[in-house]
A and B are shown apart, each in its own frame.
Chain A
Amino acid sequence: DGGITQSPKYLFRKEGQNVTLSCEQNLNHDAMYWYRQDPGQGLRLIYYSQIVNDFQKGDIAEGYSVSREKKESFPLTVTSAQKNPTAFYLCASTPTGISTDTQYFGPGTRLTVL
């Protein structure tokens, strides 16, 4: 079953803790993305990666970090420096790098800071 998986579906974190969200794809896509979605808002780009071992900041990268050690994996760490981390996080991928390609999304992870 091809696609993008994100885990966990729900995540709770205490204030001051770092937490890592998983994103895996078996579509053999080169590019992967992380978005944040707040209620009633569109998607805002956090980070993206066009190839392994390379990534760029999006519009709201502060307080987040990523790695791209493998083509199929693009984990996102929400650090304690992120002041308002409660949100719905979406991972996406495209066959090639930043280009006019359709993005395919995972099911999302809802992060709640207690």
Chain B
Amino acid sequence: GESVGLHLPTLSVQEGDNSIINCAYSNSASDYFIWYKQESGKGPQFIIDIRSNMDKRQGQRVTVLLNKTVKHLSLQIAATQPGDSAVYFCAENKAGTALIFGKGTTLSVSS
């Protein structure tokens, strides 16, 4: 069936490094993609989104890249901080369907 997955379940980085979290999606008809951050015991928080008519979108310290040719989505976090430690989920959908979530990547930032 359709699924969204992340390449790595865990990622460990040093404070100040840039982090890249990857996600592969299987539905070429998807036209909306979101990254969420989830801290332990809390609900997911919206980070950034991108629609299929774009390749790149930047927010504050975060950038999302979309490569529709290979159905790949990535989240780049600049100057990673300890407060960025969390589980990051990508999600996708197309209009008229519910979001499909990946399994998540746990980002650990050490000082």
Contacts and interface: CB of A to CB of B under 8 A. Distances in A.
Interface of A: 4, 6, 33, 35, 40-45, 48, 58, 90, 92, 98-100, 102-108, 110
The B contact surface, by secondary structure, is: loop
Contacts of A90: 43-44
Nearest to B1: A59
A42 B95 contact: no
A102 B94 CA distance: 12
A40 B101 CA distance: 12
User: How many residues of B sit at the interface, in one of the four size bands?
Assistant: 20 to 34
10 contacts: A35-B101, A42-B89, A42-B103, A42-B104, A43-B89, A58-B98, A102-B46, A103-B34, A108-B43, A110-B41
Interface of B: 4, 9, 31-32, 34, 36, 41-46, 49, 51, 89, 91, 93-99, 101-104
6 smallest CB-CB distances across A and B, nearest first, come from: A105-B43, A100-B32, A42-B101, A43-B101, A42-B103, A105-B44
B44 A99 contact: no
A42 B102 contact: yes
